[in-house]
Chains A and B, each alone.
Chain A
Amino acid sequence: MYRYTENDQKIIEERVAQFRGQTERYLAGELANEEFLPLRLQNGLYIQRLAPMLRIAVPYGLLNSAQFRKLAHVARHFDKGYCHFTTRQNIQFNWPQLEEVPDILAELAQVQMHAVQTSGNCIRNITSDQYAGVAGDEIEDPRPWCEILRQWSTFHPEFAYLPRKFKIAVSGSESDRAAILVHDIGLQLVRNEADELGFKVLVGGGLGRTPVIGSVIREFLPWQHILGYLDAIVRVYNRYGNRDNKYKARIKILVRAWTPEVFAEKVEKEWAHIMDGPCTLTQGEVDRVKQHFTLPAYETLDAASTDAALAAQAADNKAFAKWLERNTLPHRVSGYSIVNLSLKPTGVAPGDVTDTQLETIADLADRYSFGEIRATHNQNLVLADVRKSELFELWQQAKVAGFATPNIGTLTDLICCPGGDFCSLANAKSIPVAEAIQRRFDDMDYVYDLGDLTLNISGCMNACGHHHVGNIGILGVDKKGAEFYQVQLGGTADNGAALGNVLGPSFGQEEIPDIIGKILDVYVANRQGDELFIDTYRRIGLNPFKESVYAKDH
């Protein structure tokens, strides 16, 4: 994992000092509310329904155990003892005091963490594949490239006051786990016929009010040119993006208005001036960053005997077997496994973790996975390098700590934004809906029988819960001041993202578990063999679901 140089550290410390000064001026009444607003947002600080909310950046989802212990400390001393993992691999504190935020940032700077550009109309934290570096289908490890982009975007002087927020995702694998089709810029690492490395560049994807799938504007961009090309794209957007109406200000609206072809021409024209300029990347710089992402010291393990031992443990213990099946994934290196720690036990808001749990995870990471932890888009955590021979022990400890719910990828592993309980933009609450669904479908055998299924909940159009790309999506809507929920079917986030279709009129909160039950019944009645929910949906379409859900009694 990347370690700061003295320069990196100094930049972050100077940022803390700058924000401390800005906060002091604000509290002294020298800085108007509206002037402080973009400054605090670019430091991740929102004013929420009940208290400020501070969003901490987790660059491309990677964390270490020292950072977890620091987060525990912050949760304990500056918050109410917990934090929240978001769908963008970031962390949120829901109860900090404004006056204390500079101190929190100073604490975080000690472990190379910050809240830079986690909000506001600027280039946001870069996201990537949670299995980077360990996935079997990887073309190129995206993490060094994400770090290079992190540095390029950090305090970029030209792009701090864009028309709207700007999100970039990078994927290095054949199957896309970074949702690059629904980002302002999506980058896919590829190799051309000459086996040279480069990027396929997509622009104009996004969720929110107007969900759009991104368009490819360049099939192959040699890696040396990535920073200049990004400068060109963001410059075109900064100059011509809509600034009059915040709902029309994202780059996707500009790309659609101009058409992707015209947008691409504009970018190429701008890039022609920048190409081969000083921001052309050097092999030396790429090598410098790459050396931080070398493989951990894997041991050569006797795969046959560990596999046999594991099979024996699984045969003896059904619960362990289920956990192995749902919560672990094959690793590229023989004798190792990728382990998902579920942050979705029933009754806990999805993604919430307490201070003591943070410390437990830090200990588990040190003991079993080279001290590193990854945050996922699904609001879970990953220990990416666990010896198969230690899985049983890890499972037992994770169970005691509450992270071993064997539900990864199932109905109850649902994604959920903070919603109306915390967020001032919400139309409706989302956490109680998530909990009601988890309680209603508590029969794990039924849940396993349903197989892989994503259910995503957002409390409003801003779509932080990614409802458009859930197999089942639930969106909080406001109907004459009352909280209602619209249901969508057929979205997918991975591998050729697709947006869901609205089922029909919305429902009251207490109806939702029954509605989900009816949808699942239609699936179970229609599926062929072990067809997944999404495949049945694609085969039979929306109508059978609609008919069942809105039949007579509705």
Chain B
Amino acid sequence: MPKIINKGQIVEDKWTILPKNFSGEPPAGTLLILPMKFWLEHKDDIRLPVIGVWIDSDEEVEAIGEDANLFPLIAVNFPSFTDGRGFSIGRLLRERYEFTGQLRAIGNPNRDQLFYLKRCGFDAFDLKEGANLEAALASLNDFSITYQNAADQSDPLFRRKEE
């Protein structure tokens, strides 16, 4: 089973991602992450009890919006590591739609983005195959102080009392 980083731990991943152009009947008996478009088109007929959904970087997170908390897991795709749209999508899910489930970065996020991803609300990271996950964990804590408020920190530095 492939491994991911989840809440600072290296764990086996039980979820299966369906491709963006998936059509037909989603297979039963496994935990599925459906493409957002598929979910939007079929949400009334999907009978699986538990599903996740994934958003591509060029899609509008507003389409899920207030429904975010229907899902235990939402994944955001980073088609290339230079495509930074997912950072905004993550913050919107956490800060605007108050999503509380697992927020997973998929596609091509890399180790050196983990700190920023974490700040934008991501708590799970599917790094590219062969990445050294043990070593990558260290990058989650590249900085001990931050200036801005973000998904991980409700106040900017200038409003924090204790620091």
By a CB distance below 8 angstroms, the chain A residues around B91 are 158
Nearest CB of chain B from residue A293's CB, rounded to whole Å: 16
A39 lies within 8 A of B112 (CB): yes
- Whether B85 pairs with A238 at a CB distance below 8 angstroms is yes
Contacts A22-B112, A159-B84, A278-B155; A7 near B142 (Cβ below 8 A): no
Which residues of A have CB within 8 Å of B137? none
Within 8 A of B (CB), among A18-55: 18, 22, 30, 35, 38-39
Chain A's closest residue to B138 (CB) is A21
B14 — which chain A residues lie within 8 A by C-beta?
A: none
Are B143 and A155 in contact (CB-based, < 8 A)? Answer: yes
B110 touches A152 (CB 8 A): no
Inter-subunit contact A14/B82 (CB<8 Å): no
Given the known A-B contacts A7-B145, A39-B112, A279-B149, are A161 and B82 also in contact in the complex, defined by CB atoms under 8 Å? yes
What does the 1/0 interface line of B96-137 toward A look like (CB < 8 Å)?
100000000000001011011101100000000000100000
Q: Is A243 an interface residue (CB 8 A)?
A: yes
B→A interface (CB under 8 Å): 81-85, 87-88, 91, 96, 110, 112-113, 115-117, 119-120, 132, 142-150, 154-159, 163
B144 and A14 form a contact (CB under 8 A): yes
4 A-B pairs with the lowest CB-CB distances in the bound complex, closest first: A161-B84, A157-B119, A285-B158, A157-B116
Write the chain B residue with the least CB distance to A35.
B110
Are the C-beta atoms of A278 and B116 separated by less than 8 Å? no
CB closest chain-B residue, reference A160: B116
Q: Within the complex, what minimum Cβ distance (angstroms) separates A239 from chain B?
A: 5
Is the C-beta of A11 less than 8 angstroms from some C-beta in chain B?
Answer: yes
Task: Count A-B contacts at CB 8 Å.
Answer: 94
Interface size on A, residues (CB 8 A): 37
Once the chains are docked, how many angstroms separate the CA of A152 from the CA of B156?
A: 9
- Are A10 and B145 in contact, CB atoms less than 8 angstroms apart? yes
Q: Which residue of A lies closest to B58 (CB)?
A: A243
Interface string of A279-290 (1 = CB under 8 A from B): 101101100100
Known A7-B163, A278-B156; judge A151-B88 contact (CB<8 A): no
Q: Is the CB of B147 within 8 A of A238?
A: no
Q: Which residues of A contact B116 (CB under 8 A)?
A: 155, 157-158, 160
Of B155, B158, B159, most A-chain CB atoms within 10 Å: B158
Interface residues of A in 140-177 (CB under 8 A from B): 151-152, 154-162
Given contacts A22-B112, A157-B150, A285-B158, contact A238 B87 (CB under 8 A): yes
Query: 12 A-B residue contacts at CB 8 Å?
Result: A10-B145, A14-B142, A18-B143, A151-B157, A152-B156, A155-B116, A157-B120, A158-B150, A235-B88, A273-B96, A278-B156, A288-B158
